Amino acid sequence: MTAVLDVKGISKRFGGLAAVDNASFTVEEHTITSLIGPNGAGKTTAFNIVSGFLKPDFGKVTFAGQSIEHLEPHDIYRLGMARTFQDPRVFQEMSVLDNVMVGVRQKGETPFWAIVRGAEVNSQWKAARERAEKILESVGLLARANEAASALSFGEQRFLSIARALVGEPRIVLLDEPTVGLDRGTFGQLVELMKNLVSKERKTILLIEHNMDVVMSISDKVVLMMQGTTVASGTPAEVRSHRSMVEAYLGKRHVAASQ
């Protein structure tokens, strides 16, 4: 297996606080890699560095063989990496379908081609719509495509935000705590969706997740972060067997949950 994403020694300080401190990990293609660690460990900050929202003070990020730590978020998206945020952050006033279609980059969104149109612009637009509908169907929201996104429940908005990240056909998606706030039913649905993305759609997922059951059951690889540093990484079984370490940093509750 080749590492599609290679993060080497990244660090980021906010004032005096080292939010990320010499963290390294790799993500192999067509796998699910989970980033775990207590609150404030620097997982979201690491996401922000990888996706271009923050420039690291030190370190390198290589995606598909290209170094990207100096690139802007929109460039990184165009290279095939999409992300979600901890909150769904859907565009409340847009329709559900429009929300998803925002994720499709196309010629017709530049002023000149918006005026002139032409066959290519129109067919791109049509294709974007079809793809958005297909993805909405896969997350179970197609029936509500024309409603305002604000009409959706929190859980549905979470699915919408994931659909929006998927519509551009990224190679890798970064999901920041996607299961938080979901009820039992939708929770299972989301786990299924993630599994399918990897097994059927051949995507790669980098996941921040607190629920150890999910982490242990779907991850191919687990990376443990503590105080900004990656302290362990390996298969779920391997990381679980770092029992004393997990206990020391995560507390007994997480250990219990992981068994």
Ligand X SMILES: Nc1ncnc2c1ncn2[C@@H]1O[C@H](COP(=O)(O)OP(=O)(O)O)[C@@H](O)[C@H]1O
Contact window for Mg ion (CB under 5 A) among 42-50, 143-151, 152-160, 234-242 = 42-50
Nearer to other proteins by Cβ, of 58 and 85: the residue is 85
Query: Do 168 and 140 touch, CB atoms closer than 8 A?
Result: no
Question: Which CB contacts under 8 angstroms, 24+ apart, belong to 84-87?
Answer: 84/161, 84/162, 84/165, 84/173, 84/174, 84/175, 84/176, 84/178, 85/161, 85/176, 86/44, 86/176, 86/177, 86/180
Helix or strand run (H / E) with residue 192: helix 184-199
- Binder to ligand X among 1, 2, 9, 14 (CB under 6 A)? 14
Residue 82 interacting entry, from other proteins, ligand X, Mg ion, none, C-beta within 5 to 8 Å by type: other proteins
- Binder to Mg ion among 11, 31, 44, 161 (CB under 5 A)? 44
39 in contact with ligand X (CB under 6 A)? yes
Contact map string, positions 203 to 242, toward other proteins, x by CB under 8 A: ----------------------------------------
64 in contact with other proteins (CB under 8 A)? no
118 in contact with ligand X (CB under 6 A)? no
108 in contact with other proteins (CB under 8 A)? yes
Q: How far is the CB of 228 from ligand X (least distance, A)?
A: 7
Angle formed at CA 80 by CA 188 and CA 204, multiple of 5 degrees: 35
Contacts of 16 by beta carbon, 8 Å cutoff, 6+ apart: none
Q: Rounded to an integer, what distance in angstroms lies between the CA atom of residue 235 and that of residue 167?
A: 30
Query: Do 200 and 111 touch, CB atoms closer than 8 A?
Result: no
| Contact residues for ligand X, defined by CB under 6 A | 14, 17, 19, 37, 39-45
| Contact residues for other proteins, defined by CB under 8 A | 44, 48, 51, 53-54, 72-74, 77-78, 82-83, 85, 89, 91-94, 98, 101-106, 108-111, 113-115, 117, 121, 125, 128, 164-165, 168
